[in-house]
Structure formats: structure tokens, C-alpha cells
Amino acid sequence: MSDPRLARLSLNQRTTANWSLREAIEGAVAAGLRSIGLWREPVAEVGVEVARRWVDEAGLRVSSLCRGGFFTDGDPARRAAALADNRAAIDEAAALGARTLVLVPGGLPPGDKDISAARSRVADAVAELVPYAHERGVTLGIEPMHPIYAADRGVVSTLAQALDIAEQFDARDVGVVVDTFHVWWDPDVLTQIARAGERITSYQICDWITPLPPDALLARGMMGDGHIDFQELTRAVAKAGYTGDVEVEIFNADIWAMPGEQVLATMARRYLNLVQPYL
Amino acid sequence: MSDPRLARLSLNQRTTANWSLREAIEGAVAAGLRSIGLWREPVAEVGVEVARRWVDEAGLRVSSLCRGGFFTDGDPARRAAALADNRAAIDEAAALGARTLVLVPGGLPPGDKDISAARSRVADAVAELVPYAHERGVTLGIEPMHPIYAADRGVVSTLAQALDIAEQFDARDVGVVVDTFHVWWDPDVLTQIARAGERITSYQICDWITPLPPDALLARGMMGDGHIDFQELTRAVAKAGYTGDVEVEIFNADIWAMPGEQVLATMARRYLNLVQPYL
């Protein structure tokens, strides 16, 4: 019998990056989880239909599919390619029954210093994708990213910006991803989580650790190893009405070097101590 | 004859960290600059009076003294020690005739995850220091820091937050430091620069480079090597009414490894291309 307190905990499969999709599904089930966050690349390795069958047979929900987005380039050909890739991602999210397709906006195009224009192109791209996503019943989740990534990964830096875009559409079509790593520092975070309300399509958790590891893309820590107040953020997300899964997404070389079973045991324990009581 | 277009360019001495104070003063003069930003530690090595004499004899202004602050600890003894150290820094800034004392707020105290409380303590500390600074004619400059440093260096993450504190006092007593590295990503930066107006006590420049160097504290780049739009930010600072010096402050191991003369030549050239035309 799995611990009922783990009913909303989800393993984002990048947390155990060295596991195959099959191993991640089996590992999640063995740890008593009922949900998993998938990435397109490992899904593509086995095909969407096989991936869907595996998660169904394992009795898991797909809390999110990572990721669409990267549509900040103004060049018409690259922009068209990005939108086509996003439509493919929407199809995959629909086929997997994913709660949301996570959109990582993308950074500044090479040599381009106009961050306002790049931000506008994010809003335009979302607008262009909404009808396609709506027809397929997929909710787009705009993920604001920590300003450390504003130049090269995500020009949408705050929940307020993400909501300014999302609120132009029906909440079933466009929401926002609240990832503790990206938003914890924001002086306005509690207000914006309350504002988000039903638009929160995913709650992702990991910690901000110091000193920051040398590779900024692998700088995330296990909950409890860093500086984030999970109680406050989790209470705010719960108060906003979020009833979905809580996905642990950690990019960290040290954690990737650990046996996956151990990572899941630690994340379940930390979740029970630091997060679950405040949901 | 020095180029009159360099009249407002200042060398923050940490940009040439391997130079002594004497070398930095001589290097600044040789490069045709009229202003220098000093740090307390190298000033202390020769004593404030000697440092003042050297800069006066060289005909330089002191654009800023770095730095006070680091007053986020709630422990009474450590807090008292931090305030005493800040009073000493105010005395030094007065003795040097520095345009402003830069305040780096400080991060979360060890084991403390309450960033709101730490932010409140920054406001309290500034309030406590204002009368002392006022009597000595020193303007305190609150420096909002990039969220990458929110945990361990500066809990004030945006210009808006810094201004919320500064505006409780007379503009001659408390202002804000606009450092391109810290603020460039902020979706609200242009509005907040306009709001700051006469409260801008220092304009510091350097670039945001990618990939981010491994040591997050040495992640700054030479203007033009990264992603920041200096034209837009400089125009905004000028429009806000800022007429002071423009200080180049770069912490970067590669730049520190270069001969100081070469660093100054590069920074002067980049300043003339990317910044000075928009002042």
C-alpha cells in the first residue's frame, strides 16, 4: 500500500535523468507515486502510443509534458519551425493525457538585445497556438523563469508577466507553471500566486542552493537543501485553489549521479516534511 | 588632453582588482578619466586621509564608496556590529567626499528562510543609519541586486523595492544604485528608473554574459560582450535626470587576469560606443 500522503507527488523524469522512461515509470510506482512528469525526448524514443500505454498500465497520471516554447526568434522561418514544433508538442500532450504542456519561452535570439520585443513575441506565439491547443483539450502552461535565465532560456521572468499573457485567454487553454526555483525570490510572488488562482496548471518544486553549482542549468537542489520557504509558497498555491500534482523537477549533477531509488526516497521524505502538510 | 567624452566615466577599482589603490588612481588618470569608485578594503590599507589626498592630487572625483550594507541578520549582537560597521563606512565616505555610499543589503542569514523578514530588516537598518549619514552629508545608495544573489548577498531584488525604502527619506539622504547587471532583466526597469529620478545616486555598468561563468560572483562581463541593451537603459537613466558619473564595475576572473591598462582602454572604447552617446 502506498502512503496516501504521496497521492499528489509527481516525479518529473528529469530528476532521474539517467533512468529510461520505463525505469522512471517503474521507479515512480515502486516509490508509491501516482503521477509522473514526462519529457518529449524520452517519450519520442519509444513513441507516444507506447509511452501512453506504459503510464496507463502503471496507473499513473501524466502531470505535465515538458516542453514546448522556445519561440522568441523573430526570423520568420525559425519562428514557423518553432510553432510547428509546438503543435507537435500539443499533439503529444493530448495523446499522453498530460495535464499541461509546459512552455519555456526561450531567451534572446543570438545578437538580439531587445528583450521587450522578445517578450512580445512570446505573447504572440501563445496567441497563435491557443486555437490548436483548445481543439485538442491541451492546457498551455507558461513557465516564468528565474532572471538568471532571462538571456538564454526564458525572457518571461515573473509570474506577473506570465499571467498578463495567460489572462488574455480562457483559463482552460492557458495557465501558468509555478516552479519554486524560478519564483521564490520575487517580492510579489504571494500576490501573483493568489492572482493566478485556477490558472496554476503545474506546481513544480526544488530548492535554490548556494553556492550556486558551476553550471547554471544544473543549479537546482533537493527540497530542504537550500533557501526556499516551501511552507509559505505551498500554502499560497493551495489557497489559490490548486488541487493538482506536485512535481519534483531537479536538474543537478550530484543528484543525477545517485541511484534513482535513493533520489525518490529522499524526495518523498522531504515532500512529506516540507510540502505535503501545507497543501 | 583627455577626451572630453570620458568626463563622466569612472573606474570602479574592483574592475582592476589586482591594482593597488595607487595604481588604480594612476591608471584612471592615464586613461583620461576624472572619477574613480573606491572600495573600503584597499582604502583602509593606506588610510582614508592618504587615499583622499591621492585622489585630490590626481584631480579625481570619488564616484562611490563600496560598500556598506550586509545588515539582514536579526541576531541583536550581529545586527549591532553591522550597524557600527556601516557608521564607520559613512565616516569614510564623508572623509573621501564620495558621492554615495553603496549599500549591498545582504542575503538570508544562515538557516533563515524568511526573505520577507530579511527585507524588512534592510528597511529598518536604513532608517537607523539615515540620521548619522545626514549629519555627515553622505547619501546612502541602496543597490538592488540580481535575484541570482537573493539568497546570499542581496535580498532587495528590484529597483521598485529599493525605491519603496528610499522614498521614506529625503532624496539627499537615501537614493538607489542602478547597476545594469542587476536590473536589466526586470520587466519594470524603465518605469522604475523614471520613478527613481533624482534618487539615482550611482549608475554602474557591466554586461550579462552567457554562458554564465562558473563562479556566480564573478559572472559580470565587459559592456558589449553580453546581452544588455545599454542604449535603452542609459537613455532612461539620463531622462530620469542623472548627471553623475558612470562607473564600470566588473567582477570577472578573465578581466582581472588582463593588464589593467588594457582593461581601461577597452572599457573606455566600449563606453564611447555603447553608453556615452545616450547620456
- Nearest Cα of chain B lies from the Cα of A158 at a distance, in angstroms, of 8
Among B119, B147, B216, the residue with its CB nearest the CB of A147 is B147
Mutate to test the interface with A, among B158, B233, B278 (most CBs of A within 10 A): B158
Mean pLDDT for A66-93 is: 97
Contacts of A197 (CB under 8 A, 6+ apart): A240, A241
- Banded pLDDT at A1 (limits 50, 70, 90): low
Could you tell me whether strands B220-221 and B207-208 are parallel, antiparallel, or unpaired per DSSP bridges? antiparallel
Could you tell me whether strands A207-208 and A220-221 are parallel, antiparallel, or unpaired per DSSP bridges? antiparallel
Q: Is A239 on the interface with B (CB under 8 A)?
A: no
For B11-30, write each residue's pLDDT tens digit.
999 999 999 999 999 999 99
- The predicted structure's pLDDT at residue A2: 79
Q: If residue A221 lies in a helix (H) or strand (E), which one and from where to where?
A: strand A220-221
- Going A217 to A223 to A226 to A228, the CA torsion angle's sign is positive
Q: Is A210 on the interface with B (CB under 8 A)?
A: yes
Mutate to test the interface with B, among A72, A228, A229, A233 (most CBs of B within 10 A): A229
Q: Taking Cα atoms as reference points, which of B155, B151, B150 lies closest to residue B165?
A: B155
Among B148, B151, B187, the residue with its CB nearest the CB of A227 is B151
- Check B187 against A114: CB less than 8 A apart: no
- Check A216 against B215: CB less than 8 A apart: no
What residues of chain B lie within 8 A of the CB of A234, using their CB?
none
- The predicted structure's pLDDT at residue A274: 98
- Check B212 against A148: CB less than 8 A apart: yes
Q: Taking Cα atoms as reference points, which of B53, B60, B56 lies closest to residue B31?
A: B60
Q: Taking Cα atoms as reference points, which of B272, B268, B257 lies closest to residue B16?
A: B257
**Alpha-carbon gap, residue A95 to A106, rounded angstroms:** 24
- Check B228 against A161: CB less than 8 A apart: no
One-character DSSP codes across B23-43: HHHHHHHHTT--EEEEEHHHH
Residue whose entry in the numeric block shows the C-alpha cell 577599482: B13
- Banded pLDDT at A196 (limits 50, 70, 90): very high
Q: Is A19 on the interface with B (CB under 8 A)?
A: no
Could you tell me whether strands A101-104 and B61-69 are parallel, antiparallel, or unpaired per DSSP bridges? unpaired
Q: If DSSP states are collapsed to H, E and C, what string results for A102-122?
A: EEECECCCCCCCCHHHHHHHH
What residues of chain A lie within 8 A of the CB of B227, using their CB?
108, 113, 115, 151
Calculate the alpha carbon distances from A151 to A83, A146, B33 in Å: 21, 10, 31
Residue A135 grid coordinates: 481543439
Residue A223 grid coordinates: 527540497
pLDDT for residue A217 is more than 80: yes
For B39-48, write each residue's pLDDT tens digit.
999 999 999 9
Among A108, A160, A229, the residue with its CB nearest the CB of B227 is A108
Residue A120 grid coordinates: 512580445
- The predicted structure's pLDDT at residue B1: 58
Q: Is A194 on the interface with B (CB under 8 A)?
A: no
Residue A4 grid coordinates: 496516501
- Nearest Cα of chain B lies from the Cα of A102 at a distance, in angstroms, of 22
Contacts of B156 (CB under 8 A, 6+ apart): B105, B119, B122, B142, B143, B144, B145, B162, B165
**Alpha-carbon gap, residue B32 to B238, rounded angstroms:** 22
Peptide bond into B131 cis (omega under 30): no
One-character DSSP codes across B157-188: -SHHHHHHHHTTS-TTTEEEEEEHHHHTT-TT
- The predicted structure's pLDDT at residue A134: 98
Q: Which long-range contacts (CB under 8 A, 24 or more apart) does A230-234 make?
A: A230/A180, A230/A205, A230/A274, A230/A275, A230/A278, A231/A274, A231/A277, A231/A278, A232/A190, A233/A178, A233/A180, A233/A183, A233/A184, A233/A189, A233/A193, A234/A203, A234/A275, A234/A278, A234/A279
List of chain B residues with pLDDT < 70: 1
Among A151, A157, A187, the residue with its CB nearest the CB of B187 is A157
Mean pLDDT for A173-189 is: 98
Could you tell me whether strands A200-205 and A246-248 are parallel, antiparallel, or unpaired per DSSP bridges? parallel
DSSP code for B22: H
Q: Is B187 on the interface with A (CB under 8 A)?
A: yes
- Nearest Cα of chain B lies from the Cα of A108 at a distance, in angstroms, of 8
Calculate the alpha carbon distances from B50 to B35, B42, B74, B106 in Å: 17, 11, 36, 29
pLDDT for residue A116 is more than 80: yes
Tell me how many residue pairs between chain A and chain B have CB atoms under 8 A apart. 75
Interface of B with A in 64-103 (CB under 8 A): none
- Check B108 against A146: CB less than 8 A apart: no
What residues of chain A lie within 8 A of the CB of B186, using their CB?
147, 157
**Alpha-carbon gap, residue A144 to A93, rounded angstroms:** 20
Mutate to test the interface with A, among B72, B108, B112, B113 (most CBs of A within 10 A): B113
**Alpha-carbon gap, residue A201 to A142, rounded angstroms:** 9
Average pLDDT, chain A: 97
Q: Is B108 on the interface with A (CB under 8 A)?
A: yes
Peptide bond into B67 cis (omega under 30): yes
Interface of A with B in 126-155 (CB under 8 A): 146-148, 150-152
**Alpha-carbon gap, residue B92 to B75, rounded angstroms:** 26
Query: Which residue of chain A is at minimal alpha-carbon distance from B227?
Result: A113
- Measured from the Cβ of residue B251, the count of other Cβ atoms closer than 10 Å reads 20
Peptide bond into A78 cis (omega under 30): no
DSSP code for B106: B
